[in-house]
Amino acid sequence: MMNYLVLLLFVLGVSPVHGLVYSFPDCANGPLKNNTVCDTTKDPATRARAVVSLFTVEELMANTVNLSPGVPRLGLPSYQWWSEALHGVALSPGVTFAASGNFSFATSFPQPIILGAAFDDPLIKAVATIISTEARAFNNFGRAGIDFFTPNINPFKDPRWGRGQETPGEDPFHISQYVLNLIDGLQGGIDPKPYFKIIADCKHYAAYDLENWEGNIRNSFDAKVTLQDLSEYYLPPFQSCVRDAKVASVMCSYNAVNGVPSCANSYLLQTILRDFWGFDDDRWVTSDCDAVDDIFNSHHFTSTFPEAVADALKAGTDVDCGTAYSEHLPDAFNQSLITRDDLEKALIRQYTSLVRLGYFDPADVQPYRQLDWSDINTPEAQALAHKAAVEGIVLLKNDGLLPLKKSVKKVAVVGPVANSTTLLQGNYFGVAPFIVSPFQGATDAGFETTLVPGLSTVRDTSAAGFPAAIAAAQAADVVVFAGGLDEVVEREGTDRTTLVWPGAQLDLLTALQDVGKPLIVVQFGGGQADSTALKGSSKVNAIIWAGYPGQSGGTALFDIISGKTSPSGRLPITQYPAEYADQVAMTDMTVQPSDTNPGRTYKWYQNAPVYEFGHGLHFTTFSASWAGTPPAQYNIAQLLRAAPKGRPLDLAPFDSFNINIHNTGKVTSDYVALLFVNGTAGPAPHPNKQLVSYSRVHQIRAGSVGRTTLSVTLGSLARADETGSLWIHSGSYQLNVDTGPALLTHRFTLIGASTQITQFPRNPSA
């Protein structure tokens, strides 16, 4: 989404806002004081229409872009719609950090890929609540907007995607639950009244997961997607965000979907988004930045620019993140391609949302307007950032070395990420109050530490630093290698072409193995690199995936290594062997296997992964039992009759399964209960399995039992047909708790006629 000029400014530490300071309209003494927009007894839409009706056509067109000039004659100040807060208030055109002192930093939580690995929905809501509190505090002092272009909820189906780190993972059900809780925390509730806390923005709608792969560019890519995959894989997170969480904004993506650019796609923006999911007129759609420009320039969808902006506006893109609207809507208007009503519709949606944010209301009646610097980086925020990192870090391999014995004193921290700080934030980050590197984490944990990176970056191919690293390893009791991926290998605008560890990292690891000292490998980065050789080597004692763990990353890492806490994160993505990159093109949007596709994600991949989705080890052992034997048979008709009236059938309960988790080892630990279902019901091919529920059980003491309830809906059990409609199929199924050898299984049968529970909307223009 960010253009490269903005990214360069960020790297140089320069804010691209050019002095923009946010202010609020004066409803007490300003020009609008007698206008209905200032009447707090009226509903938001009525108030918005009252002020928008005063705009001239020229003012309407000028205010359709992200850097809205406002209307000075009406006392409406300039407003920047584009602020960022992916995992904390972030550098962006709408956010400015002070050079020092108040508002010079904000809490930097782990990237969403690590938050997703925690499989802890209450944690996600708590993180989002702190982010929105800090965002409001920044806004109250003129340093941020109240609209934030977050979260990224495109499923991370291809490990090469440069922006997968921004997402919670590959599974649409998991992402749907994540985003439901995230939006709840960001916006201050589900469709809160009277005020939104901030407005979130679910992006990128839709079927967007390609940046630049072998010359295929996101700005011109046409994603060919079947209705089945659209309904079953690409859209469920957006349905959850829009229909269930009531997000106030959605971003249309750069790519086209089945021949029509997303930001000009009335099937996506009107038929599905507004008509099917109920995205009402108090909510708005923004383009990704310069995506409206791409309709003409990159997709060549229209023959002129005025036609492109008219198509986007009439399809339902209300805000152009860019300048195409302000530059070309006048020509579109003069050519009668759009009307004043089209413009007013977009502006009323914008201003209705601003009314719901309290933009026009007195500060003393709004609790969010009282937030200030004292609400940023509080002890509670710091503790939560640390907790989130601990919960999301995943132990992939352990031969018994971890946790380290107290006799271990000397630790050599080696590798290109050994002393990294900013890298641990990933992308879309802000200025953190502090960042603990792996080396600092080891030192703070009390070890006698030696720092020898051996490689300057993860991409370094030189062996010049190897001798020093080997010497450090020889003098240590234990070696911790910190490497993996970084923001050059995987980033916005760039996809990977290989799944091999970058640079000479594996060569350095081979040399370290030959030293013969206990070796822990820590992989950072959002995507996975093929660790087959490391997994199979008896000289690699442990492998940890740490993603981008945020400000307390080094502390959290060594809390686990030292045994201060027990690991319990689970991989939210599949780790594929390197040959996967040669088996399927990134441009292939299908998820089911074919002659040219081994299948995508754990649901459909036909070969053996290196590490599977949901994999994660502990320092203890667990067993599980049902708290009451589940039924062996369910009647489809009875399930449908029992469904709550007035709610979508896909949200109707199927059953709730109560389970006991027994800690049979010697270490207190969390446990993530993952409930999968598989079976032969319905048409072939059948998925390997699919996640239908999950829950994180906290701090189960050694020898004790934790209890949790895994609730399953009809929608999570359903499958989409070729038209995209969901069906509950009669037949045989099996429930499995956990990955690999399941801790607990149960077979059941659905009897009666297979039944359709949703009707996916047809494309009127198809």
* Rounded-to-integer distance, Cα 491 and Cα 161, Å: 8
The identity of residue 481, as a single letter, is F
Residues paired with residue 655 on neighbouring β-strands, in sequence order: 712
Residues near 438 by beta carbon (within 8 Å), at least 6 away in sequence: 413, 417, 418, 419, 420, 480, 482, 522, 553, 554, 557, 558
DSSP 676-689: EEEES-SSSSPPS-
Helical packing angle, 553-561 and 379-392, nearest 10°: 50
Element (DSSP H or E) covering residue 414? strand 410-414
Buried b / exposed e over 134-154, threshold 16 CB at 10 Å, is bbbbbbbeebbbbbbbbbbbb
Q: Specify whether the CB–CB gap between 447 and 476 falls below 8 A.
A: no
Helical packing angle, 121-140 and 172-187, nearest 10°: 40
Measured from the Cβ of residue 660, the count of other Cβ atoms closer than 10 Å reads 16
* Rounded-to-integer distance, Cα 16 and Cα 389, Å: 30
Residues paired with residue 678 on neighbouring β-strands, in sequence order: 734
Positive or negative, the CA dihedral 340, 343, 349, 354 is negative
Tokens for 677, please give them.
Answer: 């279902």
* Rounded-to-integer distance, Cα 92 and Cα 150, Å: 12
Query: Which of 614, 620, 111 shows the shortest CA–CA distance to 389?
Result: 111
Q: Is the peptide bond between 581 and the residue preceding it cis, with omega within 30 degrees of 0?
A: no
Q: Specify whether the CB–CB gap between 237 and 176 falls below 8 A.
A: yes
Catalytic status, residue 288: yes
Phi, psi of 385 (to 5 degrees): -60, -40
Q: Specify whether the CB–CB gap between 684 and 721 falls below 8 A.
A: no
Alpha helices in 335-378 (DSSP H): 340-356
Cα 185–Cα 187–Cα 191 angle in degrees, nearest 5: 110
Catalytic residue among 282, 288, 293, 361: 288
Tokens for 249, please give them.
Answer: 């904004």
Q: What is the largest CA-CA distance in the chain?
A: 80
Tokens for 150, please give them.
Answer: 């977050």
Element (DSSP H or E) covering residue 691? strand 690-700
Q: Specify whether the CB–CB gap between 67 and 93 falls below 8 A.
A: yes
* Rounded-to-integer distance, Cα 307 and Cα 302, Å: 6
Phi, psi of 658 (to 5 degrees): -90, 125
Q: Specify whether the CB–CB gap between 178 and 121 falls below 8 A.
A: yes
* Rounded-to-integer distance, Cα 469 and Cα 453, Å: 7
Strand ranges in 11-119 using DSSP code E only, listed in sequence order: 67-68, 79-80
Q: Specify whether the CB–CB gap between 420 and 485 falls below 8 A.
A: no
Residues near 690 by beta carbon (within 8 Å), at least 6 away in sequence: 173, 603, 676, 677, 678, 716
Residue found by looking up tokens 């003012």 in the block:
59
DSSP 121-153: HHHHHHHHHHHHHHHHHHHHTTSS-SBB---B-
The residues assigned a catalytic role are 288
